[in-house]
A and B are shown apart, each in its own frame.
Chain A
Amino acid sequence: MSRARFALIGLGLGIVLVGCQNVGIGSSGGPVGLPGLFGSMTQLATGGGRSVEVDEPEEIELGRAVTTSVGSRYKLLRDESLTRYVALVGNAVAVQSERPDLRYYFAVLDTDEVNAFAAPGGYVFITRGTLAVMRDEATLAGVLGHEVGHIALHHYNATIKKEKETALKRGFLTTVGHIGLGFVPGPGGAAASVFGSPALNLIADGIATVDLRGFSRDEEEEADRVGFRYAARAGYDPAGLRDFLKAVQDAGKQPAKSGFFTKFVSTHPGSADRLKEQETQLRTAPAGGRRAAARFQQAIAAQPTTR
């Protein structure tokens, strides 16, 4: 299976991109145990023998913080209809994931850049330029499935763990390791005055700045594999992810378009391998599956294509 990275991020936010770049998340050693088996609360052993937990409410809050960081780098496309459509497709694949009980949020970024990524807690972003590369819903399902896979498999926990350990060393956290313990309540403990958790800020920055490192090849491989599976279970032609990789590869060869793919290509040198792995996986996949090209084209009709 290809281990290439798909995602791209450029953001630097840590997150996962479809290409998944960065996010730092999987860059500093993997979590103890198998991804996807953690449940909503993951316990990770720290070097000092203490326990660092990644609780779902914390994860969601981190996702919100990272989302604001995404917003500082990209303009959010505030198109209600398109956002709803992308979210419908995203939810269709997310319900097939290992974490169907997590609330997922999907958003479109207003840039020609070809990119897609995810943040902890269920936040998934895809660029307008990425949608322009696609021709049908099956392709969108494959890409969103890959991103959801990074979230469902807890690929960002390694970075969260790493930054929590740093926070512990700096005294931002107590032995329990909850982000909130780094919080200094206002006078009388008034919660309303609580603003600014040193620990959360540190972790969010870590996720956001590990940038350009991407997930490990194993994690990319996993995300490809489960994304393929989610899309197939949702009734889509699982060839969508393969088609996207192929489209990116082909478009990147065109001088007029190559600029939009530069970041993707430079940070995902293994895309060719991933493409091969998708072909291999497809050879044993059941035939059939919908493409829903007409619905996809109608949904993005108002969107400008990559120039």
Chain B
Amino acid sequence: MRRTTVLTAAIIATAMLATAAETTRWVERTKVDIRAGRGSFYEIVDTVLKGEQVEILKTEDKWASVRTPRAKTGWVYEAALAAQPVQPGRSDFLKMAPGDASTSRTAASQGAKGVYAQGYAKEKGYDYSIVEWIESHQPTGAQIETFLADSGEAAGDRK
């Protein structure tokens, strides 16, 4: 009886380890935004940095639903993750941005925030507000989702 119990426990433990190995992934890019939906236009719910681990909850069409180390759940493109541990990285580029985005998730989620580009525009005498206008006048994730679901076809409007 005892032998059976030990054997069962061992099998369960092995299975759990195997499952963990299958569902854990490591962030392979400098920083990756975890989004509320399967698309780059959805709201950012968390940002993970290179080398951090995420748990895969499910996958759909090359996107993975993951749980981050901060217990946030969202979607990330699978190509940004590795099946093997990845050494943590620091972005010297992001480091120079306000807030040291290379180590701060909050700052990293916003990248360099236009700091470098603003410097470029200032030096050239260009108007940086064009970037701000463009970035602030894009459709929301919900609007894109609605659009994708609507064919926009009128009668006879197909090849």
Residues of B with C-beta under 8 A to A32:
none
CA gap between A87 and B141 in the complex, in Å: 11
Residues of B with C-beta under 8 A to A58:
93, 112
Residues of A with C-beta under 8 A to B60:
none
- Residue of B40, B101, B158 near A102 (CB, 8 A) is B40
- Residue of B28, B92, B94, B131 near A39 (CB, 8 A) is B28
Knowing A57-B31, A91-B139, the reply to whether A69 touches B118 (Cβ < 8 A) is no
Interface residues in A131-170 by Cβ distance below 8 A to B read 137
CA gap between A85 and B120 in the complex, in Å: 30
Using an 8 Å CB-CB cutoff, how does the interface string of B138-159 with A read, 1 for contact, 0 for none? Answer: 1100011001100111100111
Q: Which of A3-11, A17-25, A180-188, A244-252 contacts B (4 or more CB under 8 A)?
A: A180-188
Q: Is B151 in contact with A235, judged by CB distance below 8 angstroms?
A: yes
- Residue of A70, A88, A105 near B144 (CB, 8 A) is A88
Q: Is A101 in contact with B80, judged by CB distance below 8 angstroms?
A: yes
Interface residues in A12-45 by Cβ distance below 8 A to B read 39-41
Q: Is B96 in contact with A185, judged by CB distance below 8 angstroms?
A: yes
CA gap between A30 and B126 in the complex, in Å: 30
Contact of A196 with B by CB under 8 A = yes
Contact of B45 with A by CB under 8 A = no
With an 8 Å Cβ cutoff, the count of chain B residues facing the other chain is 59
Knowing A40-B29, A137-B152, A295-B152, the reply to whether A92 touches B114 (Cβ < 8 A) is no
Interface residues in B90-133 by Cβ distance below 8 A to A read 91-101, 111-112, 114-128, 130-131, 133
- Nearest CB of B to A151, in Å: 12
Contact of A241 with B by CB under 8 A = no
Please give me the residue from chain B that is nearest to A80 by CB atom. Answer: B137
Residues of A with C-beta under 8 A to B79:
39, 101
Residues of A with C-beta under 8 A to B99:
191
Contact of A197 with B by CB under 8 A = yes
- Residue of B62, B80, B92, B115 near A194 (CB, 8 A) is B115
- Nearest CB of B to A208, in Å: 9
Q: Is B137 in contact with A84, judged by CB distance below 8 angstroms?
A: yes
Using an 8 Å CB-CB cutoff, how does the interface string of A272-294 with B read, 1 for contact, 0 for none? Answer: 00000000000000011111111
Chain A interface size, under 10 / 10 to 19 / 20 to 34 / 35 or more: 35 or more
Residues of A with C-beta under 8 A to B154:
292-295
Q: Is B139 in contact with A180, judged by CB distance below 8 angstroms?
A: no
Q: Is B91 in contact with A55, judged by CB distance below 8 angstroms?
A: yes
Interface residues in A59-91 by Cβ distance below 8 A to B read 60-62, 64-65, 67-72, 76, 78, 80, 83-84, 87-88, 91
Contact of A1 with B by CB under 8 A = no
- Nearest CB of A to B104, in Å: 11
- Nearest CB of B to A200, in Å: 5
Contact of A239 with B by CB under 8 A = yes
Contact of B68 with A by CB under 8 A = no
Q: Is A292 in contact with B120, judged by CB distance below 8 angstroms?
A: no
Residues of B with C-beta under 8 A to A92:
144, 147-148
Residues of A with C-beta under 8 A to B137:
78, 80, 83-84
Q: Is B29 in contact with A56, judged by CB distance below 8 angstroms?
A: yes
Residues of B with C-beta under 8 A to A191:
96-100, 115
Contact of A178 with B by CB under 8 A = yes
Contact of A261 with B by CB under 8 A = no
- Nearest CB of A to B79, in Å: 6
Q: What are 11 A-B pairs at a CB distance below 8 A? A: A40-B30, A41-B30, A64-B117, A65-B121, A69-B124, A76-B133, A87-B139, A88-B144, A180-B91, A201-B123, A288-B159
Q: Which residues of B contact A (CB under 8 A)?
A: 28-31, 39-41, 62, 76-77, 79-80, 91-101, 111-112, 114-128, 130-131, 133-135, 137-139, 143-144, 147-148, 151-154, 157-159
Apart from A84-B139, A191-B97, A291-B158, what are 19 other A-B pairs with CB-CB below 8 Å?
A57-B93, A61-B93, A64-B116, A65-B121, A71-B127, A80-B137, A91-B39, A101-B77, A104-B40, A105-B134, A178-B93, A179-B93, A180-B93, A191-B115, A194-B97, A195-B115, A201-B123, A287-B159, A289-B159
